[in-house]
Amino acid sequence: MSGGPGTPSLLRSAGIVGLMTLLSRLTGLAQTFFLSHVLGAGAAADAYVVAFRLPNLLRRFTAEGTMTAAFLPTLAEAEAAEGEAALKAVAARFLGTLLAILLGGVALVLLAMGPLAGLLMGGRPETQAQLTTLLGRIMFPYLALVSLTAGFAGLLNLRHRFALAASVSVFWNLAFIAFGWVALQVLQRQGPVPFETVAVVCACAVLAGGLLQLVVLLPAVRQEGFGLAFGLHLKDPWVLKALKRMGPGLLAAGIYPINALISTMLASRLPNGAQTVLYNSGMMGEMVMGLFAMSLATASLPALSRQAEARDWPAMHRSLIQSVSASALLVLPASVGLAVLARPICALLFRTGAYGPAAADWTASTLVFQSLGLVFVAAQRLGNQALYALKDYRGPAALAGFTLLLNVALSLALLKPLGTGGLALANGLASLAGLLLLMGRLRPRLPGLNLLPLLRAIAKALAACVLMGLLAWAGAWFLAVDAPHAFTRLALGLRLLPLVALCAAAYGLTAAGLGHPEARELADKVLRRRRNRNA
């Protein structure tokens, strides 16, 4: 599973993306901590979360989801057929066309923001819906900014410049914190700042971050010779091909944001704070996705696209199996750790300022259910990358439609007994069903696909997770971190972080000892480096 041409390059690329994504997620935690501190988990926080979900989740359609999945394979075809100059021309025209379409879409959504906010906040007071409308109109243009940023990042990935492309979120997080902190410092000179005003400041901070991350990429994009040809270039056959590929793939790539929007709408039936709690628990899941699954997906798509174009089925098979196996190796222990240590983790990250102990515990109980489906969401995203590389767009869209309907049914069934936890669990169960259907779709389209090595590797990872989970549970009891509100944040961190490190080390050693391929490969690399240093 670890051999074959191109494989080490894939793991190296994924490692670079993962490292930069780690920095992004750490600054993201700082941004979340700042947001929780100043906004808490009340009516204004819910309004902000709902308004922010619209551009942040819809970017899956127009940014790192469908757009890049259709864009990069089309560029690979254009380069193979017409050369380097065609690649650059097609990239400029496609991104210019996408931006023109997005700006038109943004204008329409701004006009319709009132009814849309009312739909998502159904059951809440009219004043809360009005605040959501205002915040949505401020933040929705972020969709155009982040989509253009994702397009430029995809071009840098195509040139194997993964580090800068993966680091843009760091600049967004830092800009958000800096803008929000300075603005609130100025406003607090006049006296206490209402939560509604704080929410408006945070909405403006979203735009400030979006502008900065786009500006950061521009010099590198220009250095690589890429540009932007603004306008509707619908007569360009390559642009038209990429847009047509995006069409049926919209539902498939956007199934997770659609499910999240449905969860947001249903959460309006729950008490104030439910949408904020659901968002924060989802953010923890996305941190795991970003660190492990999405770094592998980002690095694998260019390789899978070229392998599919060359009809190199053995290499494509190795790349897919290795990426899913490596993702499961990392996502499974993260999921178990989040579930077992949810209460102290949420207390450490969210219990601050306006975000009290009750809100932190509510977030923790939701996070337990959220963590159950992470491995299915990760595998489904990686499987979609292979289907996109094979230029199969309609099948995933149909499968995603079924998954969406299943998620709605499960959400309605689980909302009353489990609350926000039921909404989180429904998404995971729907992703499991989607994954099973996706694998059935992929098997006949990828000659030589053999899932037995993958299943054996996952079984070994699960066995290591059982040991790690027991160690985490025993350690939490011994260190008393299962009662986190009895400690200051510093005292809790000094107990919790060493326990997490111990559990991670135990898991890694166990997985390598059981013979997990990627765990063995990573262990061998570490040993070789130590030998080289000692030599």
Query: What average pLDDT score do residues 72-96 get?
Result: 85
pLDDT at 74: 83
pLDDT at 2: 42
In-domain check, residue 475: no
- In the 8-state DSSP scheme, what is residue 535? -
Q: How far apart are CA 337 and CA 465, in angstroms?
A: 9
For residue 323 the two structure tokens come to 């990426």
pLDDT tens profile 185-206: 999 998 889 999 999 999 999 9
What is the distance in angstroms between the CA of the first residue and the CA of the last residue of the chain?
A: 30
In-domain check, residue 455: no
Query: What average pLDDT score do residues 292-310 get?
Result: 66
In-domain check, residue 511: no
Is the pLDDT at 422 greater than 50? The verdict is yes
Query: Do 525 and 507 meet the contact criterion of CB atoms below 8 Å apart?
Result: no
Q: Give 5's pLDDT tier (boundaries 50, 70, 90).
A: very low
For residue 306 the two structure tokens come to 């070229």
Name every residue whose Cβ is closer than 8 Å to that of residue 113 and which is 6 or more positions away in sequence. 133, 136, 137, 140
Q: Give 253's pLDDT tier (boundaries 50, 70, 90).
A: low
In-domain check, residue 498: no
Is the pLDDT at 501 greater than 90? The verdict is yes
Is the pLDDT at 132 greater than 50? The verdict is yes
In-domain check, residue 150: yes
Of 319, 30, 291, 60, the C-alpha closest to 181 is 30
In-domain check, residue 176: yes
**By three-state DSSP, how is residue 352 classified?**
strand
pLDDT at 290: 63
In-domain check, residue 58: yes
**Is the pLDDT higher at 309 or at 52?**
52
**Is the pLDDT higher at 166 or at 476?**
476
Name every residue whose Cβ is closer than 8 Å to that of residue 264 and which is 6 or more positions away in sequence. 49, 50, 53, 120, 275, 278, 279
If you compute the radius of gyration of the chain from its CA atoms, what whole number of angstroms results? Answer: 23
Query: Do 327 and 1 meet the contact criterion of CB atoms below 8 Å apart?
Result: no
Phi and psi at residue 161, to the nearest 5°: -100, 70
Name every residue whose Cβ is closer than 8 Å to that of residue 114 and which is 6 or more positions away in sequence. 129, 133
Is the pLDDT at 453 greater than 70? The verdict is yes
Instruction: Give the total number of structural domains in the chain.
Output: 1
For the ranges 60-69, 152-161, 248-257, which has the lowest average pLDDT? 248-257
Query: Tokens 């230029």 label which residue?
Result: 391
pTM score of the predicted model: 0.74
How distant, in Å, are the alpha carbons of 26, 36, 198, 214, 343 from that of 361?
Answer: 21, 14, 24, 37, 6
Q: How far apart are CA 390 and CA 16, in angstroms?
A: 25
In-domain check, residue 502: no
Residue 262: domain span: 7-450
Q: What's the mean pLDDT when you consider all of the chain?
A: 84
Q: How far apart are CA 480 and CA 469, in angstroms?
A: 16
